[in-house]
Amino acid sequence: MPPSRRLRLRSAPLVAGAAAALAATASLAASGPVTFATIVTGLENARHAEALIASVRRFAGPYRNAPIYVVVDDADHVPTGDLRGLGVHLLPLEIDPAARQLPLAAKAYAAAQVERALAGRPGTLAWLDPETVVLAPPRLLDLDGRATVALRPVHLVNAVGQPPEAPVDAYWRGVYRAGGADPEAVPPVETAVDGKQVRFYVNCQVIAWRLGRDIGPRWAAALSTLARDHAFLAAHAADPLHRLFLHQAALSAVLLASTTAAERRWLPLDHGYPLALHQRLPEARRIARLDGVPCVILDTVWRQRRPTPPLPASPALQAWFAAAWRRTFEVTPEILREEGACNTYVLRTPAGDVVVDPGGAHDPDAPLRRLHGARSLLAVVLTHGHPDHRSGIVAWTGGREVPVIAQRRHAELLAEQDAIAPLLGRRSAAVTGETGPTPPSQLPTPVEATVLFDQRYDFAPGGVRVELIHAPSETPDTAVVWVPSLRAAFVADMFYSSFPNLSTPRGGPTRSALEYIRALDTVIALEPELLLPGHEEPLFGRETVHRRLTSYRDAIAWVHDAVMRGIRDGTDVHTLMRDTALPERLALPEAFGRVSWSVRGIYEAQAGWFDGDVENLYPLPEAAATAELAALAGGPAVAERARALVAGGDPVLALRLTRAGLTADPADATLVEVRVAALRALLTSSRNYFERGFLRSAIRETEKVRTHGAAPGTGAGDR
């Protein structure tokens, strides 16, 4: 039996108690009074959805045999075999690409898909977020008679909701227009947790509507309209909160337009009890225990650091929660995962555990530490020497004689990081938004690894063969951890869902594109069925892993080859940065690295720092010359031109002009205002972690100019 199949069969304990219900649903009844639906967007969501499915089958009474539809987004990160084994309908998500920029919009498209799949059938579609469980029959979600929708107001007043007496703002006018609602006929509702009056605004974590009313398709259509209205998004939904809750606002508008007050059934608090907000509820409205609550929204409760529910529950329910909680940290029964500063993995063997990269679970009460418990610790493996991965070694070993294994260049990497520690500290603080002085570096960083290997290191903890393979990529000491019996490859920071940082703005040597390609080839040759990266969620399936790794390798190779052609042709580095773009077949998000940054890194690694312009042979900062030009033009002229550039969609050139102007006259308040506008325009369009951090830092720094009168620097603490 192939290992992946064996693992799926062993993942059933969570629902073992519901075997009879699963057998009853094996035929997947074509119709019924209620059909449940949810969405899964990755491994963590999938584990939560497993708990939701199990809860329906065990606790939902007359609804325990109801059909359940699970819409899967990005199946590469989802163990679909585990879900399929639970007797549910799986649908791949179909979503308007424009809506990808809207957080949580996928819920609307998933609901629309399920409603279309059930076209012509009677009954109710009950949408439950995957972080929900059903602990008693959810009878009020079963719509009959006059009710068309069963719904709840939002939990809390926030910056999105509006008081009933306030004029309708531009955000809501745009939403009402997209949803077909009349902005002048909006009734008030009372928020579910803090009891405040707010203009009609509903929560969509637990909601039900009658099939045939096309509420799901209308919801998705409204979001498509909003997602393609770039002027609306830039002007009224640029901030994270308005964009995050746009999906709920759109549903509110659609429900206003498509249902009457008489058709709306308002759900009591126990049909969607917000457990994470329990302490914020008035005491009289809190539930006393979990047993018998129809629907509980767990949200962040799944990430709590203990396996017991946060409210009293019967022993049977406590045991059920404990099994479900443990399951949320399973990649497979043999591999546990917790993502903190990085992914920490625990490989379980018959004789004890091996920890890979302890940094993501170094706290004393980290879930993986709890799950490890009193089991023997056989080894700690470091995939590389970045601090987010190697921290917590002592916390795990606890003074025991445990081998800590790393590649031989690990010590060299630590020394290199120590040499530029102040720079790394300042830039990391700029990206994360930390304030206050950078703490002094503790030099040198101790090498805590006790076993250093060169090209390979093989060992067999608990009889499970583990092979460590040197594969320099993001770091020179990167080690791939290969477990042949599981066909599992732990690949450190070699692979992301984003283009990599071959040349990181945080600081450090440029990473060799050719070494990176060779490292990916090393992993591809292993033919893994499970890929476990240092950040983000694992990839499942041999075909999926091969496709994603091959495409990733080819994207890096394409950029490398394009830069080399440019160098041979005499193209300057800034032109290459501007014009080099991946072809559509290799396109990757740029949430972590950017192609343009890698272009510059490859160019300078191959051609050196001199760009051919003779003035750059001399130590005169560029800002000195541009400040002279700005002074000649005059501050008002520079500010006027920069403002026009921002309005015309060229905030980068506006930044150059405003920096020149402020270097010439640090007290020019107009230039400060325009510079901040340019930075905010770039921030609105950016989806890159590092870029957004540096832009926020630059905004903070520029706004200080008003007080201190000093010209803005780079936004990273390096002037």
Using DSSP's 3-state secondary structure scheme, residue 649 falls into coil
- The mean pLDDT value for 505-531 works out to 95
How far does Cα 178 stand from its chain's mean position? 27
- pLDDT mean over 51-62: 96
Is pLDDT above 90 for 26? no
**CA separation for the pair 384, 472 (Å, rounded):** 9
> Which is it for strands 466-470 and 479-483: parallel, antiparallel or unpaired?
antiparallel
Please state, in angstroms and as integers, the Cα–Cα distance from residue 247 to each residue in 163, 200, 222, 224, 601, following that order: 19, 14, 9, 10, 40
**How far is 520 from 255, CA to CA, in rounded Å?**
49
The pLDDT assigned to 159 comes to 87
pLDDT at 440: 57
Mean pLDDT for 179-192 is 95
Pairing of strands 295-297, 188-190: unpaired
* pLDDT value at residue 617: 82
Q: Tell me which DSSP letter residue 309 carries.
A: -
Indicate the DSSP class of residue 144.
-
The pLDDT of residue 674 is 93
Q: What is the mean pLDDT of residues 458-478?
A: 97
Which helix (H) or strand (E) covers residue 654, if one does?
A: helix 651-664
Condensed to tens digits (0 to 9), the pLDDT of residues 172-185 reads 999 999 999 999 99
Band of residue 306 on the pLDDT scale cut at 50, 70, 90: confident
For residue 81, give both structure tokens: 């075999």
Instruction: Indicate the pLDDT class of residue 625, thresholds 50, 70 and 90.
Output: confident
562-581: pLDDT as tens digits: 999 999 999 999 999 999 99
Tell me phi and psi for residue 180, to 5 degrees.
Answer: 80, 20
The residue-averaged pLDDT of 260-282 equals: 95
Residue 717 has pLDDT above 70, yes or no: no
Q: How far apart are CA 550 and CA 528, in angstroms?
A: 12
Provide the pairing of β-strand 343-349 with 335-339: antiparallel
- Tell me the whole-structure pTM to 2 decimals: 0.89
* CATH number for region 330-503+530-538: 3.60.15.10
What is the average pLDDT across 60-77?
Answer: 95
pLDDT in tens, 120-164: 999 999 999 999 999 999 999 999 878 999 999 999 988 899 999
The confidence score (pLDDT) of residue 621 equals 76
What are 560's two structure tokens? 């490398």
At 153, is the secondary structure helix, strand, or coil?
strand
pLDDT tens-digit map of 74-110: 899 999 999 999 999 999 999 999 999 999 999 999 9
Q: pLDDT: is 256 or 657 the higher one? A: 256
Q: In this model, does residue 432 exceed pLDDT 90?
A: no
At 319, is the pLDDT very low, low, confident or very high (cuts 50, 70, 90)?
A: very high
All CATH 3.90.550.10 domain ranges in the chain, comma separated: 3-285
Q: Using N-to-C axis directions, what is the helix angle for 43-59 and 315-327, rounded to 10°? A: 160
Mean pLDDT of 442-471: 94
In what helix (H) or strand (E) does residue 325 lie, and over which residues does it extend? helix 315-327
How crowded is residue 268: how many other Cβ atoms within 10 Å of its Cβ?
12
Percent share of the chain, pLDDT over 70:
92
Enumerate the CATH 3.60.15.10 domain ranges in the chain, comma separated.
330-503+530-538
Reply yes or no on whether the pLDDT at 610 is more than 90: no
User: Which tokens hold the place of 527?
Assistant: 């033919």
What pLDDT is attached to residue 3?
A: 35
Q: Where are the beta strands (DSSP E) in 298-383?
A: 330-332, 335-339, 343-349, 352-356, 377-381
- What average pLDDT does the structure give for the chain? 90
Residue 652 has pLDDT above 80, yes or no: yes
Three-state DSSP class for residue 580: coil
Answer whether 162's CB lies under 8 Å from 199's CB: yes
Q: What is 3-285's CATH number, 3.30.160.270, 1.10.246.90, 3.30.540.10, 3.90.550.10?
A: 3.90.550.10
Using the structure block, give the residue that is written with the tokens 């506008």: 677
Query: Helix crossing, 635-647 with 669-685: angle to 10°?
Result: 20
Q: Among 99-108, 206-215, 437-446, 615-624, name the one with the lowest average pLDDT.
A: 437-446
Q: How confident is the model at residue 28 (pLDDT cuts 50, 70, 90)?
A: very low
